Amino acid sequence: MRINKFLAEQGVASRRGADTIIEEGRVRINGRAAKAGDDVDLSDVVELDGKILSHKVKYEYYLLNKPKGCVCTVRDENVKEARKTVMDLLPNGVGRVFPVGRLDYDTEGMLLLTNDGDLAYRLTAPQSEIPKTYLVRIGGTISPAELNRLRAGVEIEKGVVTKKCKITVVETDKAYTKLHIVLTEGKNREIRKMFEAVGKEVKFLKRIKIGELTLSGLDRGEVRRLSPEEVFYLKNL
C-alpha cells in the first residue's frame, strides 16, 4: 500500500494532505524518512511526528453542518493566530478523521469527515463528477441571459472555464435572488467567482446536498454519524 493511502486510512489527512506531510519530513518508515511513492505493509513501522501508527483501521463517517467562521482543515497553520477549524466542532469520542474536500471560511453547509481515504478520494476526484447542490443568495435580480451564461460555463480566471451546471431560481424580488446550483466540480471559490463573472455578488452560500444525501435536519454546527445505508450510498454514487 502506498504511504499516502496508508496515512489517509489512518485519518491523518486526505491523500493530497498526506503527500504534504511526507514532504515536510514528518513521516518515518522503519526509522528512515518516508518519500512520496513509498510502499508499506504490515511488517513496517510507520511513525508520524514520532508516534507509531497502528495498521488496524476502523473506518468512521460523519456529517457536519458547517457554520461560517471556521476552516475545513485539521489544523490552521497559515495564520499567526489560528482560526477555529471544523475539528473543533466534533464531540468527544470521534476518532481521527479529516474533512472530505473544503468549504470556504464564509460558506456553510454539508461537510463529510472520515478516515476512509478511498471514499474521500472518490468524492473529491474531478473525474468522479459527483453532483453537489448549493443554496446561493445574491443581491438584486439576475436575467435569463445571465443564467444561461452560468449554465453554459463562464471563465472565472484566465483560461479557466467552469463546466456546464444546473441552476434553478428558487425565490426572487428586487432586493435579492435565491438559487439552487448543482456542480460536478469543485474549483476554489468557484461559485463566488462564477457570479462575479456576470456582475453579481454572492451574499450567502450553503452546500445542501451531496448526490441525494441531505443535512437531515442538522442545525448549524451539529454533527452526526452516517448510517450504514448512507455510507453504502456514497460509495456507490
Domain that holds residue 30: 3-52
Q: Work out the percent of the chain whose per-residue pLDDT is above 70.
A: 97
Q: Are 237 and 211 in contact (CB under 8 A)?
A: yes
> How many C-alpha atoms does 83 have within 13 Å on its Cβ side?
13
pLDDT band at 73 (very low <50, low <70, confident <90, very high): confident
Q: Work out the percent of the chain whose per-residue pLDDT is above 90.
A: 62
* 223 three-state secondary structure: strand
Tens digit of pLDDT for each residue in 141-181?
999 999 999 999 999 999 999 999 999 999 999 899 999 99
Tens digit of pLDDT for each residue in 179-204?
999 999 988 899 999 999 999 999 99
Single out the catalytic residue among 104, 106, 116, 118: 104
pLDDT > 70? residue 78: no
Distances (CA, A) of 98 to 3, 110, 120, 152, 168: 17, 14, 9, 34, 32
Q: Residue 78 belongs to a domain with what CATH number?
A: 3.30.70.580
- Do 85 and 186 lie in one domain? The reply is no
User: In which element (H, E) is residue 118 found?
Assistant: helix 117-124
Q: What is the DSSP string of 11-33?
A: TS--HHHHHHHHHTT-EEETTEE
C-alpha grid cell, residue 113? 469527515
Q: Residue 34 belongs to a domain with what CATH number?
A: 3.10.290.10
Q: If you average pLDDT over residues 66-78, what whole number do you get?
A: 82
C-alpha grid cell, residue 97? 478523521
pLDDT attached to residue 77: 65
- Do 81 and 185 lie in one domain? The reply is no
pTM (predicted TM-score)? 0.78
Cα–Cα distance for residue pair 18/2, rounded to 1 Å:
11
Q: If you average pLDDT over residues 208-235, what whole number do you get?
A: 93
Tens digit of pLDDT for each residue in 96-123?
889 998 899 999 999 999 988 889 988 9
Q: Residue 159 belongs to a domain with what CATH number?
A: 3.30.2350.10
The 8-class DSSP code of residue 71 comes to B
* Per-chain mean pLDDT for the chain: 90
- Do 109 and 147 lie in one domain? The reply is no
Catalytic residue flag (residue 106): no
- Do 120 and 218 lie in one domain? The reply is yes
